[in-house]
Amino acid sequence: MNKILAGLVLATITTTAIAQSNTNSPYSQFGLGDLTDQSVGFNKGMNGVGLAMRKGNEVNPMNPASYSAVDSLTMIFDAGLSGQTTNMKENGVSLNAKSGGFDYAVGMFRLMKNVGVSFGVVPYSNIGYKYSSSTTLTEMQTRVASNYEGSGGLHQLYIGAGWRIFKPLSVGFNLSYLWGEYNRSITTASSSAINTLSKQYTADISSYKLDFGMQYQQKLGKNDFVTVGLTWSPGHSLKSDPECLLINRNTTIGKSDTTTVSLTDGLTLPDAYGIGLAYSHANNFRAGADLTMQKWGSVDFPHYDGTSYTLRSDMLKDSYRMNLGAEWTPRPASRQFFSRVHYRFGVGYATPYYYISGQEGPKEYSASLGFGIPIFNGYYANRSVHSASVLNIGFQWVNRSADNLIKENTFRINIGFTFNERWFAKWKVN
């Protein structure tokens, strides 16, 4: 039990490390930022597939019903980090940017028969960008420059449980503390004026998030299974009061006037739904497909139109994501290293959840390749190769583009370590 408490403390400490931007995309200036899929090490190699995945030696926060599959003798920790480089192109101009940092930390153990518990910290969204643009007004011989900058994001500290009601059917939930902030600014200056105008948008968020899951696993043969997974996250108000600060600064005398306007209860999470299908054969092969939808179109979002700061219903739209992924392990019990490695790949497609000046944001195409490298200690080397710790390495390419908007190509590497040891076994001394 002391080790379980130590794991909870470790997950809490990592909240400081996770509370940082892990993106450099200008598109993170819209909505609540770039949204994540709550995938961990093994999911990332399959491009985020996970709603119908269930194995006793993996933590899968994407569907809390999967916790009920946890092995009764093990305690599992999984932590990961990521780094990425993004190439952005617009009007023939190209720019590269890099970012990265700690990503997630999760754990899982069996509470009682048919009940598994998971806890940890996972990201919900990331905000991070800094760029500038300029326009020349020829009739006035004036150059207008604008600087855009933003940081922040939302994070989830969760605890959840999964219960196998009867052999094929499991249900589960995650209860998360959702917290974070966003800070966005636009500063405009004209070559013919001595004043600069800054608009700063800020919000502090401290709320909750609920996720419910179900998995139904049907045995097809001795070693073949099909699993259906369903998830639902109810939408609700975040009870946050976003602010807009209008700062007019005179650069000659160094004085500024600030006007602050705020919206009461101005931020909301939408209803979100997911369905997944997975097939597995023994410990050699598994494949899955996920479809998720978030009802952002029913959510109003703050907007300043030059005269007033109000909630508008035309800022966001319903979004959809489709992922396909698979994993192949040639011979899990083999003594040959490359036969024990988990080889993973996946592809995906997603639609945006926001509009940009009335135009739909960029669509997303992605592909991934990953490897799960088993790491045995003396106990597992002689007894069980299916419960060993695993080093997960994943590579992902993401393309986002839309007509007359910035085109992005992101290359990302994800590194995670799943620590899986037998902590609850009763040792017998002869």
**Contact predicate 280/286, CB 8 Å:** yes
pLDDT surpassing 50 at residue 16: no
Q: Which residues of 51-90 are buried (b: 16+ CB within 10 A; e: fewer)?
A: bbbbbbbbbbbbbbbbbbbbbebbbbbbbbbbebebebee
Can you tell me which residue has the tokens 């999911």? 43
pLDDT, tens digit (0-9, with 9 covering 90-100), for 186-235: 988 876 666 788 899 999 999 999 999 999 999 998 899 999 999 999 99
In a domain, 32, yes or no: yes
- Residue with the bigger pLDDT between 347 and 190: it is 347
Q: Give 426's pLDDT tier (boundaries 50, 70, 90).
A: low
In a domain, 393, yes or no: no
Torsion of CA 202, 17, 46, 50, to 10 degrees: -70
In a domain, 172, yes or no: yes
DSSP 329-341: -S-TT-SSHHHHS
User: Furthest-apart CA pair in the chain: how many Å?
Assistant: 95
In a domain, 176, yes or no: yes
- Residue with the bigger pLDDT between 83 and 137: it is 83
**Contact predicate 155/179, CB 8 Å:** yes
Instruction: Tell me what pLDDT residue 168 has.
Output: 94
> What CA–CA distance (Å, rounded) separates 176 from 15?
13
> What CA–CA distance (Å, rounded) separates 103 from 34?
14
DSSP 42-71: HHHHTTT--TT---TT---TT-GGGGGG--
DSSP E strands in 91-194: the ranges are 93-112, 115-137, 142-166, 169-190
pLDDT surpassing 50 at residue 9: no
Instruction: Tell me what pLDDT residue 254 has.
Output: 65
Helix, strand or coil for residue 15? helix
Instruction: For residue 398, give the nearest of 41, 56, 85 by alpha carbon.
Output: 85
**Contact predicate 109/8, CB 8 Å:** no
> What CA–CA distance (Å, rounded) separates 213 from 64?
6
Domain total in the chain: 1
pLDDT surpassing 90 at residue 78: yes
Tokens linked to 319:
């979004």
In a domain, 398, yes or no: no
Average confidence score pLDDT of the chain: 88
In sequence order, what are the residues at sequence separation of 6 or more whose Cβ sits closer than 8 angstroms to the Cβ of residue 66?
Answer: 53, 54, 55, 58, 60, 162, 170, 172, 213, 215, 229
pLDDT surpassing 50 at residue 12: no
Which residue range is the domain that position 324 belongs to? 2-78+100-363
Q: Give 382's pLDDT tier (boundaries 50, 70, 90).
A: very low
In a domain, 368, yes or no: no
> What CA–CA distance (Å, rounded) separates 7 from 106?
9
- Residue with the bigger pLDDT between 154 and 190: it is 154
In a domain, 286, yes or no: yes
Find the DSSP H helices in 128-262: none
Helix, strand or coil for residue 197? strand
Strands 243-250 and 255-262: antiparallel
Q: Give 140's pLDDT tier (boundaries 50, 70, 90).
A: low
Instruction: Tell me what pLDDT residue 139 has.
Output: 63
Instruction: Tell me what pLDDT residue 283 has.
Output: 87
Whole-prediction pTM: 0.88
- Residue with the bigger pLDDT between 263 and 430: it is 263
- Residue with the bigger pLDDT between 426 and 279: it is 279
> What CA–CA distance (Å, rounded) separates 300 from 303?
9
Tokens linked to 118:
């998971």
Mean pLDDT score, 374-401: 74
Mean pLDDT score, 83-96: 90
Mean pLDDT score, 400-408: 92
Q: Which residues of 149-174 are buried (b: 16+ CB within 10 A; e: fewer)?
A: bbbbbbbbbbbbbbbbeeeeebbbbb
Mean pLDDT score, 375-404: 75
In a domain, 29, yes or no: yes
Instruction: Tell me what pLDDT residue 337 has.
Output: 87
Mean pLDDT score, 332-348: 91
Give the least confident one: 173-182, 249-258, 401-410: 249-258
Instruction: For residue 20, give the nearest of 82, 91, 92, 87 by alpha carbon.
Output: 82
Mean pLDDT score, 260-264: 92
CA distances, 1 to each of 75, 105, 269 (Å): 11, 19, 35
Instruction: Tell me what pLDDT residue 378 has.
Output: 46
Instruction: Tell me what pLDDT residue 383 has.
Output: 46
> What CA–CA distance (Å, rounded) separates 11 from 65?
21
Tokens linked to 74:
């093990």
Find the DSSP H helices in 29-153: 41-45
> What CA–CA distance (Å, rounded) separates 375 from 318?
42
Percent of the chain with pLDDT strictly greater than 70: 87
Find the DSSP H helices in 19-168: 41-45
Q: Which residues of 382-419 are buried (b: 16+ CB within 10 A; e: fewer)?
A: eebbbbbbbebbbbbebebeeeebbebebebbbbbbbe
DSSP E strands in 234-376: the ranges are 236-237, 243-250, 255-262, 268-269, 272-281, 285-294, 301-304, 309-312, 319-328, 342-350, 355-356, 359-360, 363-375
Instruction: Tell me what pLDDT residue 15 has.
Output: 46
CATH number for the domain including 38?
A: 2.40.160
